[in-house]
Amino acid sequence: MPNQALPRGHTANIGANVIAGDLHIIGVGTPYTISTNGGAAAAHVAAVGVVDTYHINSHTVSVTNTTAVPGPDNLTLSW
């Protein structure tokens, strides 16, 4: 299962057929947006100790860490 740190202010664009199942987003009270298949971005906050799980199943996905910069990485994507 790959893990990818998503630095503050950056976007991860993951193409179709890369994630065969679920995407897990782990943060520490970290605001982010997520969109699948080019849809509208939805805003969320990854709470401390809670893993946000999205069933991606081979779709495209875009996640943006909307935390202000600078600062340490505070969001991790895992699938």
CATH annotation of 3-78 = 2.60.120
Is the bond leading into 70 cis (omega within 30 degrees of zero)?
A: yes
Looking at this protein, which amino acid is placed at residue 39?
Answer: G
On the question of pLDDT at 78 being above 70, the answer is yes
| Whole-number pLDDT of residue 28 | 95
> How does pLDDT run across 12-56, given as a tens digit for each residue?
999 999 999 999 999 999 999 999 999 999 999 999 999 999 999
Half-sphere exposure of 47 (CA within 13 A, CB side): 3
Q: How much is the pTM?
A: 0.93
Rg, the chain, Cα only = 12
Q: How confident is the model at residue 2 (pLDDT cuts 50, 70, 90)?
A: confident
End-to-end CA distance of the chain: 5
